[in-house]
Amino acid sequence: MKADVDIRRLTVKPLNPAVQPSSRVQVISWMGEIAGTGDMSGSLDVLATYAGASYYMLAREDMFQENGLSFVITSNWPFDLVKKIGGTLAASQARVSEMEKCLSLLQPQLHILPDEGCIPKGTDRQYCAMTFCVGNIRFALLLMFPEGTVPSMERLREVGLLCGYSASFGIGYDLKVERDIDLTERELECLYWIAEGKTSDEMATILGISRNTINNYITSVMRKTATKTRSEAIAYAVRNNLV
């Protein structure tokens, strides 16, 4: 499945209230059956209902800052609301460091939808966002709830884990790796030695090149990974299994 928006899924049709998973065991059983088919929309139907949510959106967090709706994997959010929130997601992504992104994995966070966004009747303006990784790809799960609903943080974490499990079958490594960072061998070497705590002078001695060349490689690494410090570059490298 490609990570392109499926316009057919961006409807205002809520989940079927008759489908009510009664227990964790039942949900896990259903997920096992659905995941094998690669049906991400079916998986999200079950998980959102289990979480008590009315609407779901699964997106690629690493693509939030791109134009259009290509970051959406599957969703039943109203189409106009997805377009409105795209800019909000991109702005919030730009304010967060790589270290903070790592620490926030599988930690449900509650946010408020933009005032200009028209939400479905009976839906709370507060929504939940949670991130998880499948291989080198970072995903975000966004859930909207009926008015007055107080979501369970413990259950939301369960939902995040199960969504990652399902995505590893339905999306996972079949996604194009066009978003993977193209680092050169030298840049990867520098990244490795940064993670080992080496200074530019020490790396220059180890690799047999000048200190200025080392700093140029490091600058290139941070530009390609959209990081601002060496610590953020290390966090990025660890999260993406580069070192």
* pLDDT above 70: residue 234: yes
Residue 239, burial from CB neighbour count under 10 angstroms (0-12, 13-18, 19+): middle
pLDDT in tens, 215-225: 999 999 888 88
The residue with greater pLDDT, 130 or 25, is 130
**Packing angle between helix 200-207 and helix 185-195, nearest 10 degrees?**
130
* pLDDT above 50: residue 173: no
CA 149 to chain centre: 24
pTM score, two decimals?
0.62
For CA atoms 230, 236, 238, 240, give the dihedral sign.
negative
What pLDDT, on a 0 to 100 scale, did the predictor assign at position 180?
52
Q: Are 138 and 101 in contact (CB under 8 A)?
A: yes
Judged by average pLDDT, the poorest of 3-7, 167-171, 237-241 is 3-7
**Packing angle between helix 40-51 and helix 153-170, nearest 10 degrees?**
170
The residue with greater pLDDT, 85 or 148, is 148
Give the model's confidence band at 41: pLDDT under 50 very low, under 70 low, under 90 confident, else very high.
Answer: confident
* pLDDT above 60: residue 10: no
pLDDT in tens, 110-154: 988 877 767 888 999 899 999 888 877 888 999 999 998 888 899
Q: 75 pairs with which residues across the strands?
A: 57
Minimal CA–CA distance to 3: which of 184, 135, 160? 135
The residue with greater pLDDT, 101 or 211, is 211
Cα–Cα dist 43/84, whole Å? 25
Tokens (6 digits) for 137: 């790809």
What pLDDT, on a 0 to 100 scale, did the predictor assign at position 4?
41
Range 75-98 average pLDDT? 77
